[in-house]
Structure 1
Amino acid sequence: MANAHKHRQRVIRGAPDDLWDDLDTATKTAGTDRSAVTRQFWEWYVQRPGANLPECPASSEESAE
Structure 2
Amino acid sequence: MTIISELMSAATAQWICANARERLSGRAKYCSMNAWEYLINADKIAGIAPTVSFFCATHAV
Q: TM-score range by the shorter chain?
A: 0.3 to 0.5
- The structure whose Rg is larger is 1
Query: Structure with the greater relative contact order (CA < 8 A, sep ≥ 6): 1 or 2?
Result: 2
Identify, as 1 or 2, the structure richer in helix: 2
